[in-house]
Amino acid sequence: MSYTAPVSHIRFVLEKIAGFQQVRALPAFRDVTPDVVEAVLEGAGRFASDVLDPINASGDRVGSHVTPQGVVTPAGFKEAYQRFVDDGWNSLGGPTAYGGQGMPFILHAATVEMWGAANMAFALCPELGSGAIAALEQHATPELRDRFLPKLVSGEWTGTMCLTEPQSGSDLSTVTTRAEPHGDAWRLYGRKIYITWGEHDLAANTIHLVLARAPNAPTGVKGLSLFLVPRFRVNADGSVGAANDIRCVSVEHKMGIHASPTCVLAIGDGEGAEGYLVGSLHQGLPCMFTMMNYMRLGVGLHALGIAERSYQIARRYAADRVQGRNAQGRPTVILGHADVRRMLLTMKALLQASRGLAYTAAAALDVAQYGDGAAAEAANERAELLTPIVKSWCSDMAIEVTSLGVQVLGGMGFVEDAGAAQCYRDVRITAIYEGTNGIQGQDLLGRKVLRDGGRALTRLIKEIHLAIEALPATDPRIQSLGAAMRRALTSLEASTQALIAAAQADPAVIGATAVNYLQLVSYVCGGWQWMLAVTHVQDSELSAGEESALIDCGAFYAAHILPRILTHCEILKSGVGILNTTNSEFL
């Protein structure tokens, strides 16, 4: 079953929920007219459906593999990537100073969702390049930017991030890849694993951003530096030269995203891989976090896209599959069964709340980067608060949604030909990528809430209270959502204050409670997005039937989704509790 981009709903979220009007008011984006937005969304939707979707299942079946000549991608991927570049999609959000179109991140985010939905294995490649561009634009020297950014922005070259090593996963303090000074450059030696799109045949060069240790570096993460290491050396005139001493030695056999080559890279097996320092010596991790935070939002958007694809497959199947009888005793499609409707409504309620939240974070990034004064500071604070939520909740949501997608199809969902199983397999990695969701929870609770005493979260809660007050009073379905959100905010505020006090007495509380706290915050934020949706539904371009269905879905979120926070609140009360007293021999 093919994917169709939900352009009308994406447009509704952009214009009515996520704050796109505030972004377009910025001087940098005043040329981004509604006509431009419409052209981008419609064009991206067609590219996703016509070019990326047709090679999704075939790419999954064939996968990428290593040959003596290098890594080979499945049939159609090289041609699709060339068209992606030729049509200007790679440069959409790129900086104009290096040949990009300079579109706002929130518009880029909408296309990233579509690419992930149509073909996540493919979508990871250009998204990594966009993350590398962000890191180099902010931290590289002018000479490095001028030398490498134009072709990264155009898509002639692609990018990667090289952090993980066999002994060093989430704990980067144990990274051992070393860098030795060599004239105006450096030579790197080591091995990196799990490098997405670490080698391939789509582009003429790949630019690796590699964490390594220089001589006499401090121990731990404070001793890491960031280096730009091209797969092929770059001549003074910008042309591609001889092969660098970095190569793929194997491609992982994975649960999903088979077409995306996840590589083991050998660095410096010979003379050493030529590289260039990015940022200051021993400041590699802060530099890399620019790319990592960018990718965290990208992972959330890809997960959101696959959830949408899974919903479309399940919805179509449920509308066609005749099974069982209705109340009048006549054969009926399974869409008529209450339990199937419950599953589909759960899928829709979660993915639409997630879309609003992801686009809201994207808009905050635009205002933070291109605004000024207090507005930019507030937007940066909001983006930092929402980033771990978007990454983790969108991925957790998508895993639940794609699992339900399999369930709606029943036995056919377990058969690969239906497409539901691939959605489930592909999306599972998103809860692991760019810091596991447990790490995202600790980031939210430890760094984004406890560090400032809950100030940023308190500002968000005040905004959500205002959204409750703005709800139309004429529709009982909408008022039920408002009442549920009042109760949810009371629980969130009480849990937050209790955790702040408990963590001051015992820092171990953070690790023990972070995931449940993140889920609590996420469900409240999802309800916030639904309130914004139902508040603005009447001034949208949706039909009367679509408006009523949207309000029904918001009421379903209040009745079936928000009560989940009660479980998380009860778990949070236990603190460290049994987690520290359980004998590890029995685990």
Active site residues: 434
- Report the number of secondary-structure helices (H) and strands (E) in the chain: 18, 14
Q: 475 — phi, psi (to 5°)?
A: -115, 120
Residue 463 to residue 457: CA distance in whole angstroms = 10
Using the Cα atoms of residue 24, residue 28, residue 30 and residue 36 in order, give the sign of their dihedral: negative
Q: 68 — phi, psi (to 5°)?
A: -60, -25
Residue 112 to residue 420: CA distance in whole angstroms = 21
Alpha-carbon Rg for the chain, nearest whole angstrom, is 24
100, burial (CB in 10 Å: exposed 0-12, middle 13-18, buried 19+)? buried
Q: What is the 3-state secondary structure (H, E, C) of 360-394?
A: HHHHHHHHHHHCCHHHHHHHHHHHHHHHHHHHHHH
Strand partners, 188: 179, 273
DSSP single-letter state for residue 187: E
Q: Where are the beta strands (DSSP E) in 63-156?
A: 65-67, 70-72
Specify the length of the chain in residues. Answer: 587
Taking the alpha carbons at both ends of the chain, their separation in whole angstroms is 42
| Helix 564-573 and helix 476-505, axial crossing angle in degrees, nearest 10 | 20
Strand partners, 191: 266
